[in-house]
């Protein structure tokens, strides 16, 4: 049924539920898993009163975020090994999370995207947006959303 499943994770409890589901689904179908965590760039503020960080400090923070992302996807790989599911850990650096998820799924020839939704509604959804909604809207690959 599925050959390669991309699971998007941010390391939260909710996304860990999506990871568990993706690994179980891969185990049942014989699929491989691509574990993805998207790392944003450090925001540069130009607002009055904002403090601009030195380039070396920004590089240090971004390196730390990248290391944390690798820990997250390597944890998915370890979880997959317990079920004998092949997991490819992947990170992407982008401020456009949904677009990075879709691009990674295409690049890795995935036939399903699994991700969690925080279920925000009303004003919170309007202000914070929904990466899951963006993936659902723009992906040509099937998306399984867990809440």
Residue 63 Cα to chain centre, angstroms: 17
- pTM of the predicted model as reported, rounded to 2 decimal places: 0.88
Which secondary structure element, helix H or strand E, spans residue 112, and what is its range?
strand 112-116
Enumerate the domain spans of the chain: 4-146
pLDDT for res 1: 87
- Give the separation between CA 92 and CA 6, rounded to whole angstroms: 13
Question: Percent of the chain scored above 70 by pLDDT?
Answer: 86
Q: CATH for 4-146?
A: 3.40.50.620
Q: Which residue has the higher pLDDT, 51 or 26?
A: 26
Going by the DSSP 8-state scheme, the letter that residue 50 receives in this structure is: P
Q: Residue 36 and residue 8: Cα distance in Å, rounded?
A: 5
pLDDT digit string (tens) for 75-119?
A: 999 999 999 999 999 999 999 999 999 999 999 999 999 999 875
Mean pLDDT over residues 127-147, rounded?
86
């Amino acid at each position: 049924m599925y050959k390669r499943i991309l699971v998007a994770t941010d390391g939260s409890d909710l996304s860990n539920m999506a990871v568990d589901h993706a690994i179980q689904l891969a185990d049942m179908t014989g699929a491989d898993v691509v574990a993805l965590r998207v790392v944003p760039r450090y925001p540069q503020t130009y607002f009055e009163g904002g403090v601009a960080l030195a380039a070396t400090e920004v590089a240090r923070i971004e390196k730390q975020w990248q290391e944390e992302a690798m820990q997250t996807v390597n944890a998915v790989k370890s979880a997959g090994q317990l079920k004998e599911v092949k997991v490819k850990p992947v990170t992407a650096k982008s401020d456009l999370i949904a677009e990075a998820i879709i691009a990674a799924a295409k690049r890795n020839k995935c036939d399903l995207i699994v991700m969690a939704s925080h279920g925000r509604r009303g004003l919170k959804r309007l202000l914070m947006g929904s990466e899951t909604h963006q993936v659902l809207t723009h992906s040509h690959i099937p998306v399984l959303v867990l809440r």
